[in-house]
Amino acid sequence: MIERLELRLKTEDRLRILVLGSAAGGGFPQWNCHCDNCRRARAGDPAARPRTQSSLAVSANGVRWFLLNASPDLREQITTNPLLHPRSGVRHSPIAGVVMTNGDVDHVAGLLSLREGQPLAVYATARVQALLRNNSIFNVLNPDRVTRLELHLNEPETLCESDGSPSGLSVTAYAVPGKIALYAEDPGAGSDFGTRPGDTVGLEIASEGDGKRFHYIPGCASMPPELAERIEGEELVFFDGTLWRDDEMIATGLGIKTGTRMGHMSASGPTGTIAAMSRLGVKRKIFVHINNSNPMILDDSPERAEALAAGWEVAHDGLEIAL
């Protein structure tokens, strides 16, 4: 294992991506779910591969990594990915920082696992930084070691190491349709529950060396023209695959909310993701943040076959991509 890891670390500098977790909140199987999908996963059905909660890791050199969101399963994800293991001294981590797409529990709870005195940078919009700042539990992230940096919408930002040196990566955050985190909803604020620009963003991650780039959009409620224009013709897009149909949670008896109410567009249907992106010419399209209720999560489902036939991939934990 050590020899294989050393060989991987000696590869040429290039934009590298690890899918740490590909499921939506709760993971797959979800801890309290007895639906058909989760039963198959617990039974060890090879077509129902377990998945942890959504997160990526990205690097310009395969040595220093930035997390895109920090899921509640982060400790397990680090353990199962040797590239993220400590490699020197008694305290070390190749993780240089975290970039947030929103303040959802399944994207921020993992920050609490990074509290062990490790130098880090946490990048997020002002709206998401405010959610972290206003919740005192995140004060366990020692401010002497953890730097909180604001992402300004539509402005490229160089991702830096803890000592301020550039990592070779840049990030551009841009607003996408979505919803404020569930725990921060204001019922008195109307149909948008107090949602504002910056509550949910997509990320364009780019290698500053060769210009290679990709988009990470794990939560999105619709495909407005400005978003379609931004991702049109791109080489790689990871996109919200939470639900197959808008009333999925209701139809399966697992909840009372539609996907629209939860801030997620559905994969199928005339206004769904597959249809919306069919004309955009994206070269590689990968669904992430897949809910346990979504039949697409099963390798042998008709819905998976439909997604594949439309040119999509469905992410699984451990997927590695180099651009």
DSSP for 267-318 reads: SSSTTSHHHHHTTS--S-EEEESB-TT-GGGSTTSHHHHHHHHTTEEE--TT
Question: Are the beta carbons of 125 and 198 closer than 8 angstroms?
Answer: yes
pLDDT at res. 159:
96
Task: Please compute, for residue 220, the number of CA atoms within 13 A of its CA located in the half-sphere on the CB side.
Answer: 27
Cβ partners under 8 Å of residue 79, min gap 6: none
pLDDT at res. 84:
97
Angle at 251 between CA 238 and CA 187, to 5 degrees: 75
Longest CA–CA separation in the chain, Å: 58
Q: Pairing mode, if any, of strands 65-68 and 55-59?
A: antiparallel
Domains of the chain with bracketed CATH: 2-322 (3.60.15.10)
Cβ partners under 8 Å of residue 175, min gap 6: 153, 197, 198, 200, 201
**How is residue 212 annotated by DSSP?**
-
pLDDT at res. 24:
96
Cβ partners under 8 Å of residue 279, min gap 6: none
pLDDT at res. 148:
95
Dist CA 217 CA 204 (whole Å)? 9
Q: Output the tens digit of pLDDT for each of the chain's 323 residues.
A: 444 444 444 445 789 999 999 999 999 999 999 999 999 999 999 999 999 999 999 999 999 999 999 999 999 999 999 999 999 888 899 999 999 999 999 999 999 999 988 899 999 999 999 999 999 999 999 999 999 999 999 999 999 876 778 899 999 999 999 988 878 877 877 777 778 889 999 999 999 989 999 999 999 999 999 999 999 999 999 999 999 998 898 988 888 888 788 878 999 999 999 999 999 999 999 999 999 999 999 999 999 999 999 999 999 999 999 99
Helix (H) or strand (E) holding 259: helix 259-262
Give the amino acid at 32.
Answer: N
Question: Are the beta carbons of 221 and 263 closer than 8 angstroms?
Answer: yes
Dist CA 249 CA 268 (whole Å)? 14
